[in-house]
Amino acid sequence: MSDLLIQNIDTLITMDDDRRELTGVDIRVRGGVITEIGQGLAVNGAETLNAQGCVVSPGLVNTHHHLYQSMTRAVPGAQDALLFGWLQKLYPIWSMMGPEEMFVSAQVGLAELALSGCTLSSDHLYLYPNGARLDDTIHAAKEVGLRFHPTRGAMSIGESDGGLPPDALVEREEAILNDCIRVIDTHHDATEGSMVRVGIAPCSPFSVSRELMRDAALLARDKGVMLHTHLAENDEDIAYSLAKFGCRPGQYAEDLGWTGPDVWHAHCVKLDGAEIDLFARTRTGVAHCPCSNCRLGSGIAPVRAMRDAGVAVGLGVDGSASNDAGNLVLEARQTMLLQRVLNGADAMSPREALEIATRGGADVLGRPDCGRLAVGKRADIAIWDTRGVESAGSWDPAAILLAGPVRVRDLIVEGRRVVAEGQLSTLDMGQLVEKQNWLARALAERA
């Protein structure tokens, strides 16, 4: 692979340790790593990319997603439901999916993320109907070209045992743990700069047993991988925890080994002060999903309080059945706006929200090699053209969450162009969308 030289950058938002913003600079990339940042760098045979008129930032990081849900957007009957009713409507539809639906929906979801500037995404896949496997999404990510952190989710308590999911979608706990071992041994790469890391992710406290939560934590630590689940998402979630476990979700997590720097929880809308302190003390991460929380009426997560306490917070778009979109820039803007609604207009700046979407998410996923632009870090780079109507008249081009594009001009992952001139360069988007729509129509007819 030849060197890549990104030239004439108007504004470079580094998100480095000093949070520098540089003007009129170039970036040299070699072997997937940033090797030089400075003015007027010599070409020396490198491929060049002109970023004049552009703001350049680290690639955005998505810390929570259900990629398969891009197959079930705007489903009638689930458009206006709270979390538990929404799940009960969609579970029977998802039970009809298989490997092809998982593969195509993952490609669509990752392509949508890439166009919004995302270079690293996690995924929480917790149901495996009709022969589907986590491998289907991993293969999809390799074709799209994004850095990927899939998690082997699971559900083991069905309706007949007092759980929420239908019995047809739950698995035996021994089989779950065995498959976790298989996918980790097959796909997990712990080296710096790796393109795939695997985590373990029982779906939620209301769909697996205490024993599986505890065993999953033990297995993850034995294998050196991270842990992920949903926690404290809404009032129903809190009520379930109090009724079934006699404690709040934070205590439940702590009791079962689900706190620490190798753990991140999705949503956490209803964490109280003691739980926030627990997460800060144990360095437990949070995936904040503002648009999904709004869509499902779950509430506004206390992100300002979390950040002030020292909790690591990243952003997640969540599934497209509860968000309808997979645009990480819009997620970052919504984070900023909701914290202002909750705490006042000075509660969160556009730069802090962008930091959460980049460096913050990378730290939550245990990837200090990503999420910042500095010599020695991975070349995951988003190039935003600020010469369009969205930024016209802006006095501060770097404040892209206030006045900037919501789609990248170019996206670089590990030094390779995944998006070029606003178009996905690794797959035929027209064919992909046509295939997704055909599969979604088939699901709708069967449902």
Structure tokens at 186: 């097959």
Q: Report the alpha-carbon distance of residue 419 to residue 116 in Å, rounded.
A: 10
pLDDT of residue 205: 84
Residue identified by tokens 């162009």 is 417
DSSP state of 51: -
pLDDT of residue 1: 64
pLDDT of residue 222: 98
Per-residue pLDDT tens digits for 215-249:
999 999 999 999 999 999 999 899 999 999 999 99
Q: Report the alpha-carbon distance of residue 8 to residue 23 in Å, rounded.
A: 9
Residues 6+ apart with CB under 8 A from 83: 233, 234, 236, 237, 296, 298
Per-residue pLDDT tens digits for 375-415:
999 999 999 999 999 999 999 999 999 999 999 999 999 99
* 84, amino acid identity: F
- Nearest alpha carbon to residue 62 among 355, 316, 290: 316
Query: Comparing 101 with 447, which gets the higher pLDDT?
Result: 101
Residues 9, 149, 192: CA angle, nearest 5 degrees:
65
Q: Over 90: is that where the pLDDT of 84 sits? A: no
Q: Report the alpha-carbon distance of residue 267 to residue 232 in Å, rounded.
A: 7
- Nearest alpha carbon to residue 67 among 118, 119, 109, 126: 109
State pTM to two decimals. 0.97
pLDDT of residue 184: 98
pLDDT of residue 206: 82
Residue 257 pLDDT level (bands cut at 50, 70, 90): very high
Mean predicted lDDT score pLDDT of the chain? 96
All structural domains of the chain, each given as residue ranges with its CATH number in brackets, are: 4-59+372-422 (2.30.40.10), 61-364 (3.20.20.140)
Q: Report the alpha-carbon distance of residue 12 to residue 37 in Å, rounded.
A: 10
- Nearest alpha carbon to residue 311 among 378, 384, 243, 363: 363
- Mean pLDDT across 175-201: 98
pLDDT of residue 5: 98
Q: Poorest-confidence range of 11-25, 82-96, 377-391?
A: 82-96
Query: Do 213 and 245 meet the contact criterion of CB atoms below 8 Å apart?
Result: no
Q: Over 70: is that where the pLDDT of 332 sits? A: yes
pLDDT of residue 353: 98
What string of H, E and C letters represents the secondary structure of 365-418?
CCCCCCCCCCCCCECCEEEEECCCHHHCCCCCCCCCCCCCCCCCCEEEECCEEE
- Nearest alpha carbon to residue 62 among 327, 343, 353: 327
Q: Percent of the chain at pLDDT above 70?
A: 100
Q: Over 90: is that where the pLDDT of 2 sits? A: no
Per-residue pLDDT tens digits for 31-52:
999 999 999 999 999 999 999 9
